[in-house]
Amino acid sequence: MEFNISKYTIEEIIDIKNKCSNHIEFYDDGYVYICEVRSYGRNWTVNVYNTYALQELCWEYTGEDGIVDVYSTNPDLSHIDNYGDVMYIVSRDAYNHWDDCEYTKHAIPSIEDSLNKWDNRDNVPFRERPMFEPTYTREELDALKKELVEKSVSVIEPIRYSK
């Protein structure tokens, strides 16, 4: 199929280009793509809808300006070229559950440390004492630990794609 663009004005060509780019970017192939971008100390999530848009995002962040970790329900992403992780997930709900457990798992040591420092504040020099009381209590920390143990039973961890 040949497309003759010479009969169009530059404005019409730009309009066609924009419509095509928009269609390609938002074409939904039916899979979930969760892209966690890390760049210059900032983190955010981008949702793309197809492998073409996914590859474009991965090429944008090749390690120099940032890294993209991809989590997808697409069973075959072995062809995606990415500096970060490319992981298979069974569903968005399974990903959210796993991500919530990972966040809690990493938060518990920090909460425990701040509580220990607060409890020991009278045994350290004044300048090393914490200025503010922790936002969590020991009871809340114990509840978080118990909740993590209960939730961890049903976690389905993402699986790395093999190249």
* 59 lies in the same domain as 97: no
Both 44 and 67 in one domain: the answer is yes
Report residue 4's pLDDT band, with 50, 70 and 90 as the boundaries: confident
DSSP of the chain, one letter per residue? ----GGGS-HHHHHHHHHHHHHHHHH---S--EEEEEEETTEEEEEEE-SHHHHHHHHHH-BSSS-EEEEEES-S--TT---SS-EEE-S-HHHHHHHHHHHHHHHHHHHHHHHHHHHHTGGGS-GGGS-SS--SS-HHHHHHHHHHHHHHHTT----EEPP-
Each residue of 80-110: pLDDT tens digit? Answer: 999 999 999 999 999 999 999 999 999 999 9
**The domain boundary residue, chosen from 35, 64, 88:** 88
Task: Let me know whether 154 and 108 are in one domain.
Answer: yes
